Structure 1
Amino acid sequence: MANLTIVSVDDEYPALELIRKYCAQMEDVDLVKIFQDPEQALEYLKENRVDLVILDINMPYINGIELLRQLPYQPLCIFLTLETQYAVKAFEMDVVHYLVKPVDFDTFRKAINKAKDFLQFKNSTKHKKKEDFIMFKSNYVMHKVLLEDVRWVQGFGEYIILVTHLKKYMILERMTNFEEKFQSLGFIRIHKSYIVLSSHIGSYDTAHVYLKDGGKLPLGRTYKNALKAYLN
């Protein structure tokens, strides 16, 4: 995989120097430019595509959110800022991570690795097909989960809970949207509140679906025929 190309924009030079220092300690990362002037950064980014931009938000002339919106393409973005009130807005803009200053190296490294994972997913590289995992956002952070680790998805109104063998993720998304987005990967609705991977189903009866790992989920009456047709 090629190096992750990065441009960092912050009106505070010490913050830029810290990012330069952190990037120098990481493999497969290329910090190509840093800018204290966001207007200069915008002009550069309009003419030069990069994989990731690391942006402060509260800057003179143009803030980080406005800068990102004015780009003719959509690079990955990490906001690194003192401001906490823009986290929801960042979530809506599908940024990879939202870091609050001061940030230590380990936290920064994890955010960069999230960006690498997401770029890998977008590019569908030869070494890792997108069918092997899904990417989603939970608590303002992009996550990668292998399909083999997914147990089930449960709906709670505007949210879903994605249950894996290790942990649970709360995601701001409706069941119908999740189903449509990942149906091609083998996810199937078995109940108004449950979605599972067809490859993880061991058996089913009139009332339940039994997973290969021992889990048992309810089978909705209106979903029985669809499940039978899908598996047969």
Structure 2
Amino acid sequence: MANLTIVNVDDEYPALQLVKQYCDQLEEVELLASFQKPEEALAFLKANSVDLVVFDINMPGINGVELLEQLPDPPLCIFLTLETKFAVKAFELDVVHYLIKPVDFDTFKKAVNKARDFVQFKSSAGNKQQEDFIMFKSNYVMNKVFLKDILWIQGFGEYIVLMTTLKKYMILERMSNFEEKFQHLGFIRIHKSYIVLSDHINSYNSGHVFLKNGEELPLGRTYKKNLKIHFS
């Protein structure tokens, strides 16, 4: 059985055929249905459960954004469109990816793989299993980062910066929200502006935390109890 089910909605038949061609080349992916009429897609999605919908935006009757907003329990979504003006709205709707036509196979495959990762992440979280990665959105794209690669998280008001061994990500998220969401994975608050993974801590003193990779971060006075619990 395919582990990722997809529905495609686009009023242009050649675009539907291209997505079908791409899906046929992907393993463990099943394209359940394709619709040129968004009203028909809406009825199907209200009656059937799917993992991912690939939407065009500019369609007659109901556009892709309106269609997604009308779903009571929307699946994951990739917008595949000529439009660029809806990128911010797509971010608000938590779409997995925002692809601009024309899209080659490799780009489409990466976007679908991000959706697959997120489905697996939700499944493992629901089963309360220990994940070795986290999923988050940055620059309108859903990202997967392994815990072993995360150095620290730093807060900047409404945003946080997630620093990894490979790159840094700017995320629209408050520190408190991130801490609550991923605390079960071993993230620990060491400062009003810093969160680290407890497994990455080597030692600490009265004012600093020393990570296993040699990095040194500030230790807030009110957060020392978190470290004492960890090292007890």
Q: TM-score range by the shorter chain?
A: over 0.9
Q: CA deviation at 1:229?
A: 2.9
How far residue 129 of structure 1 moved from its aligned partner, in angstroms, is 4.0
- Which residue of structure 1 lines up, in the alignment, with residue 49 of structure 2? 49
C-alpha separation in 1, matches of 2:211 and 2:155 = 18
Tell me by how many angstroms 1:161 deviates. Answer: 0.8
Partner of 1:99: 99
Question: Secondary structure of 1:154's match?
Answer: strand
Amino acid at match of 1:222: T
For residues 230 and 159 of structure 1, the distance between their equivalents in structure 2, rounded to whole angstroms, comes to 27
Q: Structure 2 CA distance, aligned partners of 1:88 and 1:139?
A: 10
Superposition pairs of residues 135-146 of structure 1, within 5 angstroms: 135-146=135-146
Distance 1:72 1:190 in 2: 39
Tell me the amino acid that sits aligned with residue 26 of structure 2. M
CA, structure 1 residues 136+32, in 2 after alignment: closer, same or farther (shift >3 Å)?
A: same
Rounded Cα–Cα distance in structure 1 between residues aligned with 2:3 and 2:182? 28
1:161 corresponds in structure 2 to: 161
Q: 2:58 maps to which residue?
A: 58
The normalised TM-score by structure 2 is: 0.95
**Residue aligned with 1:131, SS:** coil
Give the length in aligned residue pairs: 232
Query: How far 1:123 moved relative to its partner?
Result: 1.2
Distance in 2 between residues matched to 1:101 and 1:61, nearest whole Å: 21
Show the counterpart of 1:77.
77
Superposed displacement of residue 137, structure 1: 0.4
Relative distance call for 1:117 and 1:227 in structure 2 (3 A) is same
Q: Distance in 2 between matches of 1:163 and 1:194?
A: 11
User: What residue is the counterpart of 2:116 in the other structure?
Assistant: 116
What does residue range 155-194 of structure 1 map to in structure 2 within 5 Å?
155-194=155-194
1:69 aligned partner, one-letter code = E
Secondary structure, aligned partner of 2:131: helix
1:181-203 superposed Cα distances (whole Å, 9 cap, x missing partner): 11121111111111001111110
Give the gaps of 5 or more residues in structure 1: none
Alignment identity in percent? 72
Could you tell me whether the CA contact under 8 Å between 2:121 and 2:131 is conserved in 1?
no
| Structure 2 unpaired stretches of 5+ | none
Deviation at 1:27, TM superposition (A): 0.8
Amino acid at match of 2:104: D
User: Does the 8 Å CA contact 2:124/2:130 hold for their aligned counterparts?
Assistant: yes
Q: Distance in 2 between matches of 1:205 and 1:223?
A: 12
Q: 2:195 matched to which residue of 1?
A: 195
2:3, 2:187 → 1: CA distance?
Answer: 33
In structure 2, the partner of 1:3 is 3
RMSD: 1.8
- How far apart, CA to CA, are the structure 1 residues paired with 2:130 and 2:46? 29
Distance between the aligned counterparts of 2:63 and 2:155, measured in 1? 36
- Letter matched to residue 58 of structure 1: N
Query: Structure 1 stretches (4+) deviating beyond 2 angstroms?
Result: 125-131
Q: Is the 8 A contact 2:130 2:185 kept in 1?
A: no
In 2, Cα distance between the equivalents of 1:128 and 1:72? 25
Aligned-partner Cα distance in 1 for 2:146–2:25: 28
Aligned letter for 1:115?
Answer: A
Deviation at 1:127, TM superposition (A): 11
Compute the displacement of 1:230 (Å). 3.6
TM-score normalized by the length of structure 1: 0.95
